[in-house]
């Protein structure tokens, strides 16, 4: 595994990568693709396996990209290579997860905390760890997201809301169709549609042009009582969805990573990256020393009087 030192230079490179990703995603209208790349990379995590997978950059290997579950992601990796060529030192693992964060933000979604420091690996994880889009049972989702990844029901439902920006791949599932009419906008419409058209395989609705999230795996969110309560909440309250999605996305993007930042967790708004600069810290220390020296000298003079 290749490791990078997370110093001021690395943080500045992350800032540059974010700007480059934003420009690239807006220009190519590829937010759904980049979000899918981040998800598929992180979703392979299995703490019980020798090769744990997760967000470690291994998805860039030809062996992994050729898997049926990753069809179409070659273009996402190519886009990331364009950005990587402009950087001096950023791991692929960080870049792929940052691409997912930026994809959500530029399409109107929530700002997601991003902590850098993922290491790259060339070891391909075992195939078949991602959710099967044609698997209907709720136990399938909980086995993957809760038992294996350590997430919870709320995280599962919130993450599914991100499917508004994706299209199911025809060769990956028996049903093809994007989940909402405007797949370049991140909002809570996935849940609104799920409640309105919850009979997801109803052909009459499809003939009438109803937008659909009709993969069997989606029906679990309606059929399970605990899942459904979050669907209903998010359909009514987009702010609640955004808040919970940001938390769930961050968890997913950090699976298996021991991320420690010597400065602070990066939290960027589209306008400014908030960093603690070493030069500023030094200046503060110098000023504080001067002030303390002055106060001591003044006190000594008063005692002499």
Return the pLDDT at 76: 97
Return the pLDDT at 134: 72
Q: For the whole model, what pTM was predicted?
A: 0.79
277 in a structural domain: no
Which element (helix H / strand E) includes 280?
Answer: helix 278-304
289 in a structural domain: no
Residues serving a catalytic function are 40
94 with 240: CB under 8 angstroms?
Answer: no
98 in a structural domain: yes
Return the pLDDT at 208: 46
| CATH number, residue 231 | 1.10.520.10
pLDDT tens digit at each of 305 positions of the chain: 667 788 889 999 999 999 999 999 999 999 999 999 999 999 999 999 999 999 999 999 999 999 999 999 999 999 999 999 999 999 999 999 999 999 999 999 999 999 999 999 999 999 999 988 776 678 999 999 999 999 999 999 999 999 887 654 444 444 344 444 457 899 999 999 888 876 444 444 444 444 445 567 778 888 899 999 999 999 999 999 999 999 999 999 999 998 876 455 444 444 444 454 555 556 665 656 656 665 666 656 655 55
Distance separating alpha carbons of residues 113 and 98, to the nearest angstrom: 10
> Per the structure, how many domains does the chain have?
1
173 with 134: CB under 8 angstroms?
Answer: yes
267 in a structural domain: no
Q: What share of the chain is helix, strand, coil (3-state, %, to 5)?
A: 55, 5, 40
Return the pLDDT at 210: 43
290 in a structural domain: no
CA 19 distance to own-chain centroid: 16
* Structural domain containing residue 240: 8-253
301 in a structural domain: no
115 with 97: CB under 8 angstroms?
Answer: no
């Amino acid at each position: 595994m290749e490791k990078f030192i997370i110093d001021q230079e690395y943080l500045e490179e992350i800032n540059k990568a974010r700007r480059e990703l934003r420009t690239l995603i807006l220009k190519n209208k590829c937010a759904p693709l980049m979000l899918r790349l981040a998800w598929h990379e992180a979703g392979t995590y299995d703490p019980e396996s020798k090769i744990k997978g997760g967000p470690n950059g291994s998805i860039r290997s030809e062996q992994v990209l050729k898997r049926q579950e990753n069809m179409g992601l070659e273009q996402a990796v190519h886009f990331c290579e364009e950005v990587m060529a402009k950087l001096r030192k950023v791991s692929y693992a960080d870049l792929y997860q940052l691409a997912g964060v930026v994809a959500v933000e530029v399409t109107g979604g929530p700002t997601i905390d991003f902590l850098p420091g993922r290491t790259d690996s060339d070891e391909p994880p075992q195939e078949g760890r991602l959710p099967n889009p044609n698997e209907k049972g709720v136990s399938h989702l909980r086995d993957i997201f809760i038992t294996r990844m350590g997430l919870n029901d709320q995280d599962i439902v919130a993450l599914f809301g991100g499917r508004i920006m994706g299209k199911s791949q025809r060769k990956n599932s028996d049903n093809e169709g994007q989940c909402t009419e405007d797949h370049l906008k991140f909002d809570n419409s996935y849940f609104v549609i799920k409640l309105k058209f919850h009979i997801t395989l109803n052909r009459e609705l499809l003939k009438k042009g109803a937008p659909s999230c009709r993969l069997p795996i989606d029906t679990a969110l309606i059929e399970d009582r605990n899942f459904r309560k979050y669907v209903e909440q998010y359909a009514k309250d987009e702010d609640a969805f955004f808040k919970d999605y940001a938390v769930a996305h961050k968890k997913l993007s950090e699976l298996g990573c021991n991320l420690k930042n010597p400065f602070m967790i990066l939290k960027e708004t589209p306008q400014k990256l908030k960093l603690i600069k070493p030069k500023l810290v030094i200046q503060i220390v110098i000023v504080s020393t001067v002030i303390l020296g002055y106060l001591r000298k003044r006190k000594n003079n008063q005692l002499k009087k």
